[in-house]
Structure formats: C-alpha cells, structure tokens
Amino acid sequence: MKTSRGTVSDRTAWLPRLALALFLLSLMAMTSACGGSTQSQQQADQGKAKLDQLIQRAQQIGVPAKLLTPIQRQEQQLSSAGAPFSPFNDQADTNYYTHLAAQYNALQQQLQNVVETATGQSQQQASDNLQAFQQALSRRQAQNAGNIQAFVNQYSQDQALFAQAQTPKDFDAVSQNAQVNAQALGLMGLTYEQLNTFKVALSQMQAASLDVTAMQAQYKDDLAVFNNATTSASFQHLDELINAQYQQVVVNSINALPYVGAAKLSEFQQQIGLLKKYGFAVASYQKLYNSDKAAMSNAKTIQDYLAFAKRVDADMAAMHSDLVQGEANAFINELNSQAYAWGNAHLYHDKFDGNKYILDSGYTMNGIGYWLQVELSWAYTPSDFQSVVNDENDEFFSLNMLEQDYSDKTPYNKPHQTDLELMQHYGVTGQQVIVVSMVEQALRLYQNGKLVRSFPVTTGRYELPSLPGHWTVLARQSPTVFKSTDPPGSEFWYPPTPINYAINYHWDGYFIHDAWWRVNFGPGTQFPHYDVGGDESFAGNGSHGCINMPENDAAWLYANTSYNTQIIVY
C-alpha cells in the first residue's frame, strides 16, 4: 500500500549506506591523529638513507663483506618492523620513529668503527708484506742473484702507494702486490741455486775431461732468461727446465756420475757433522749415509747411478729442516756470545755511576737476539728457518762493522767507511739512507752514497738497546703521543709523551724521534749521565730502544726523508 511518505522498505533502504558512511567518518577521525610527527618520520628516513650510503661507500672502499653483514642484518630488522597501531594518539608513533632514527644513527657509528678496524687491519697487513718484500729484496741483493732492478722499482712504487693509501682497498692492493713480488723473489733464489748447481756440475765434468760445450750453451741461455724473469711463473718454469737439463746431463755423462756421487756423499757427511755440532741426534742420518755409500759403491749402470742420486738427494733433503733449524738456533747464541766477548773487551767506563757497560748490547739477547728468537718461533718451513739464518748472517756482518767503527777516529760528521760497506752489503748505495752508529751515538744521512748531514743522537739504554740491522720506514707520525706499555711504578714506565716528529723503523714501538726533554746528545748519553738542562727523570739515561734527536734536528730529518728512505743501525 502506498502513502505520500513512501513505503516502509523505501524508508529503510538507505540505513546501511548511512551506517557505512558514519563508520568511515569515525575511522578517519580516529586515524587523523596517527602516524607520528612528520619530523620524526623524516629523521628516521634520513637516518636509513645515510646508513645505506655509508654501507655502499664501505663496500666500494673494500671493507670485507663479513664485517658488513651484521650491520646490514640489523638494518633489515629495523626496516621490516612497523609503527605501533594507536588510533587515538600519535605520540606512540612519534616515539617509535624517534627511536628508529637513534638506532640508525647508532648503526652509522658502528659502521664507522668497522671501517676504521678494517682499514687498520689492511694497513698492518700491507706493512707486514712490504717488510717481507724488502727482506726478500735484501736477500737477493746479498746473494747477488741476477738483475733485480725491476723488483727494486716495484718496491719503490709500492712504498709510494702505501704512503698514499687511505682505504682497505688501497692497502689490500699494495699488500697483494708486495706478497706476489716477495714470492717471486723467493723462487728467484731457488732458481739461482739451481743455476749454480748446474754450473758446478759443468765444472765437475770439465774436471773429468768431458765435453760440455753444448751444456754450457744451455747454461748461458738459462742465465739470460733468468736475468729477464720477473714473475713466479717464469722462475718456476725456468727452475723446471734447469732441473730437466741437469738430469739430462747426468744421463748423458755417465763418466761424471761417480765424481758427482762422491761430492754428494761428502756434502752429506759434512751436514751430519753440522747436525751433531748443533746438538741433534745423528744416528738415523748416519745410517742413511752408510746405506747410500754402499749403493754408490755397487752402482754399475746408468739406472744404478740415477737411483743413487735420487736417494742421496732425498736423504739430504730429509735433514735440511733440522739443519737450518739447528743453524738458526746456534747462530743466535753465537751472536750473543760474540757480542759479549767483544763488549767485555771494550767496556765503557761510566764516570757518572762508576759502572762499566758493553757498547754492543744491541746484538745480545737484550736487543736483536730477542727479536731473532721471535722470528725463529714463527718459522715452520725450511725456507722460514733459512730466512732467519740469512738475517743472522746480516747481524754478524753488522757487528763486525760496529767493531771496526769503534777503532775509526773519523769525526762523526764525516763519511765513515763502515757506513759505505753496510750500504753496499744491503744494496742501497744508490738510495737515501739513514745510518746510525751506536758506538758513536751519531746519525748520518746519505743520498746516493754521499753524506748530506750528520747529527748527534741518543740510542737505547743498556737494558733496552736500539735494534741493529737494515730496516724500512713503517710509519711517519707528526705529531703523535707515545704511551708506555709498562705499568705505572715499573722501572721503564713513562707518562703519555707528546712527540713532534717520529719515524717508525721497527714494529713494537722503535722510532727515530725528537726528545725535547733532553739537552745532551752524543757519545755516552745511552748510559747513565747528568743532563745539563733536561728533565732528569728521563734525560739521564738512554732511550727505551728509540733513537732520540734534538727537536730541530728531528724536524729537519723528518722534512727531508720519506717512506722510501732506508735505515741502517749498527
């Protein structure tokens, strides 16, 4: 039935739509205050964006992914979380975004610490590999093993790159290149020994009136290839070639084999004698020698001789590790004994405290002897032990130069013959070299073998001597602060000390630096003495192993040297 006001169903049809509209209006009213303040959301967004930029930058400069993963994981957790639902109050959302921004800022600081740590680790590794590169260079120079100018040039380039490096990627590039070249130099030494073995074999065959014309031509060709080789692969290939040629020499020269075999047996017996001298049990090696000698006597055919040669080589190789290890240990003790023997025969009489001191304590267990023992403790392979032996031989030479310098009356500010011999020994005559004489308490700077300037210095005290040897610049710091590693109250503790100019010549805190607290430098200042105007708490004795200079002198030296400068202390 119709009325003027419509039907009942017409009046009720719009009620659901009205309810929905009212619900939407109420929902808008409830959420109009949600979401937090715009400023807090912007701060959180900006914090995340900056963190993303910093992570991308860290990846670009070579920070290892394993160090970045924890930070990226934390960022992902933060990003995946949502603001709390609070329909009637936006303060909770504001607090959420403010806290989120703070967490992003904390991750930024954490990332900065990771970058600094990664950079420091890469820098230290690059420094260590450069030091190994330099030591390998020194060994090849001392061995006079062919043309190494390409390696010298590469080392100079690596030093320059190290000085300019700022990021892990920069330091890693230097580290990798230094490691590759050090390995190549190691193989160069082995190949050089192979060449010498080949040469000796030719000489032995000549002595046996054998025709070696063709083999001498091979040796000449090998030598030319050796002098032009610069990579590990080229040295390894040449080493294999020389070994094959040598074996062919053996096969083609049966008349020379008994001669060569006798020489091998003689060498084997000499090595057994050395092992016995070093304190090793030699019964097992003597048994091998007797067996090899019998095999040599019974050899009748080429195959017999080749089997003997292979066997005796293997037996001598088996004792090589013991031999070089024993040699390395013995040399440390011998160096210490020689230093004390000469030192006690040439004592310094200290008028200040009435005591007598040796002048070469740097060569004892108080000085380089301790560090040689550290190097020996790190040795595992025969080549490691051989490196220690090479370093020890360098120290024996250096001690001999100290003894000669003691008797040299040349003024400290004039060139010294011992300086020149040391530079020649280490192959650095054509470079800039700082030479420090501990018996003279003097530092001399040379450029291409010519003296530039001389300075009086104070080296390490008797208990903590400066370290003799050939070193490279590990770090240059201006200014810096030295902090004692000894606890307060100990004899060698000192308060944090500002230093204006410092050149690091050996790890663990050995520097050439200014000592503004001293007035007196030169002979005798490494022992207890009266300093006419310095701080008597620290100026009345030698340093803790560093090489001290007047401040103005240290400033000049720092300004006129670089990371390429070589350092010789003796």
pLDDT per residue as tens digits for the range 147-193: 888 899 999 999 999 999 999 999 999 999 999 998 888 888 888 88
Q: Is the dihedral of CA 552, 556, 559, 562 positive or negative?
A: negative
pLDDT per residue as tens digits for the range 238-297: 989 988 888 777 666 666 667 777 888 998 999 999 899 888 899 999 999 999 999 988
What are the phi and psi torsion angles at 72 (to 5°)?
-65, -35
Rounded-to-integer distance, Cα 361 and Cα 354, Å: 18
Q: Which residue has the tokens 């530039």?
A: 452
With cut-offs at 50, 70 and 90, classify the pLDDT of residue 24: very low
- Under DSSP, the state recorded for 57 is H
Tell me if residue 300 falls in helix, strand or coil. coil
pLDDT for 208:
52
- Helices and strands of the chain, counted as H and E runs: 17, 13
Going from the C-alpha of 515 to that of each of 102, 528, 548, the distances in angstroms are 46, 16, 5
Stretch 196-222: mean pLDDT, rounded? 79
Rounded-to-integer distance, Cα 193 and Cα 145, Å: 9
Rounded-to-integer distance, Cα 503 and Cα 197, Å: 43
Question: Of the candidates 503, 428, 433, which has an alpha carbon nearest to the alpha carbon of residue 138?
Answer: 428
Question: Of the candidates 142, 129, 159, 153, which has an alpha carbon nearest to the alpha carbon of residue 470?
Answer: 142
Rounded-to-integer distance, Cα 518 and Cα 540, Å: 8
pLDDT for 207:
59
Q: Which residue has the tokens 């630096």?
A: 513
Percent of the chain with pLDDT over 90: 60
pLDDT per residue as tens digits for the range 454-513: 999 999 999 999 999 999 999 999 999 999 999 998 889 999 999 999 999 999 999 999
Q: Where in the chain is the domain with CATH 2.40.440.10?
A: 408-569
What are the phi and psi torsion angles at 65 (to 5°)?
-60, -35
pTM over 0.75: no
Please list, in sequence order, all residues whose beta carbon lies within 8 angstroms of the beta carbon of residue 181, skipping any fewer than 6 positions away: 133, 136, 151, 154, 155, 158
408-569 folds as L,D-transpeptidase catalytic domain-like (2.40.440)
CB atoms inside a 10 Å sphere around CB 105: 15
Tell me if residue 467 falls in helix, strand or coil. coil
Rounded-to-integer distance, Cα 515 and Cα 41, Å: 55
Question: Is residue 349 within a helix (H) or strand (E), and if so which, with residue range?
Answer: strand 348-349
Whether 335 and 395 have beta carbons less than 8 Å apart is answered as: yes
Torsion, Cα 513 530 402 472, to 10 degrees, reads: -10
Question: Of the candidates 540, 562, 553, 465, which has an alpha carbon nearest to the alpha carbon of residue 514?
Answer: 553
Alpha helices in 407-509 (DSSP H): 417-425
Q: Which residue has the tokens 């403010």?
A: 98
Mean pLDDT, rounded, of the chain = 88
What are the phi and psi torsion angles at 193 (to 5°)?
-65, -40
Q: Is the pLDDT of residue 379 over 60?
A: yes
Q: Is the pLDDT of residue 6 over 70?
A: no
pLDDT for 136:
86
Q: Which residue has the tokens 């003495």?
A: 529
- Of 31-35, 362-366, 375-379, 508-512, the one with minimum mean pLDDT is 31-35
Q: Name the E strands within 374-522.
A: 432-437, 442-447, 450-456, 469-472, 475-477, 480-482, 497-499, 502-506, 510-514
DSSP β-ladder status, 566-569 and 432-437: parallel
Residue 3, classified by CB atoms within 10 Å of its CB into exposed (0-12), middle (13-18) or buried (19+), is: exposed
CB atoms inside a 10 Å sphere around CB 300: 7
Question: Of the candidates 502, 491, 498, which has an alpha carbon nearest to the alpha carbon of residue 538?
Answer: 491
DSSP β-ladder status, 475-477 and 469-472: unpaired
What are the phi and psi torsion angles at 141 (to 5°)?
-65, -45
